[in-house]
């Protein structure tokens, strides 16, 4: 089987009703990113940050995968598929994808605020202040905040290097280091970019599909499966 790598961003989740901060001048559901998505915000007001991610988690659990998520899952019938996602939701998994690498964490898990490697499943949508890890440290959302390292990038790079096909969808290629992953793909392999606004790039062997994920991905999947 050929190795197929898919890099997904917020655009694919937005079609399931999950809003992104880049849709509204740096605000995420009415909050400044600096107030809810940085280590400094957690230090200043952990209750606010915890409640913010509780609301995001609730929204994720209420959301449903869309046709783009389901279409990507179909690719596993013919390819060795790895989905590398910048998204913190679990919609790819719920649609049936079996090999998903979350660059920025996943909101349905918690982590120790002392050791990010200690993660735990969350029952339901609410993570409360006072819930602690095995080290006795407060649990927070398992999400990479601005200013924190992205440890999963080291696992993602060789996957991109070994790809035989590459699909990019739902991302503006503006958030690094994730945006740099496509440049690790071999210049000789075919790369598909699916987005209503194709991000500027200097890539070779690119097929641009000017459409939102729910339209462009099923179309491309049908083509690749034949």
Catalytic positions: 104
d(CA 143, CA 2): 31
Cβ within 8 Å of residue 222, ≥6 positions away: none
| 19: three-class secondary structure by DSSP | coil
CA distance 95 to 73: 7
Give the list of residues 6+ apart from residue 143 with CB closer than 8 angstroms, or none: 37, 53, 88, 104, 105, 106, 107
The distance in angstroms from the start CA to the end CA of the chain is 15
CB-based contact 7:168 (threshold 8 Å): yes
3-state secondary structure of 34: helix
What lies within 8 Å, CB to CB, of 105 at 6+ separation is 88, 111, 141, 142, 143, 144
* CA dist., res. 166 & res. 185, Å (int): 7
């Amino acid at each position: 089987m050929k190795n197929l790598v898919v890099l997904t961003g917020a655009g694919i989740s937005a079609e399931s009703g999950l809003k992104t901060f880049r849709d509204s001048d740096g605000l995420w559901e009415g909050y400044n990113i600096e107030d809810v998505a940085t280590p400094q915000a957690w230090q200043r007001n952990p209750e606010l940050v915890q409640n913010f991610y509780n609301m995001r988690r609730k929204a994720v659990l209420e959301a449903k995968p869309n046709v783009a998520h389901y279409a990507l899952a179909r690719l596993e019938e013919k390819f060795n598929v790895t989905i590398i996602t910048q998204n913190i939701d679990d919609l790819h998994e719920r649609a049936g994808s079996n090999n998903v690498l979350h660059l920025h964490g996943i909101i349905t898990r918690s982590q120790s605020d002392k050791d990010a490697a200690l993660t735990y499943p969350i029952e339901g949508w609410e993570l409360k202040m006072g819930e602690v890890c095995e080290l006795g440290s407060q649990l927070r959302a398992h999400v990479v905040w601005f200013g924190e390292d992205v440890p999963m990038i080291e696992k993602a790079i060789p996957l991109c290097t070994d790809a035989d096909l590459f699909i990019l969808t739902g991302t503006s290629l503006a958030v690094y280091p994730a945006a740099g992953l496509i440049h690790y793909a071999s210049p000789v392999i075919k790369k598909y970019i699916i987005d209503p606004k194709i991000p500027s790039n200097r890539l070779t062997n690119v097929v641009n599909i000017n459409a939102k994920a729910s339209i462009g991905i099923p179309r491309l999947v049908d083509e690749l499966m034949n």
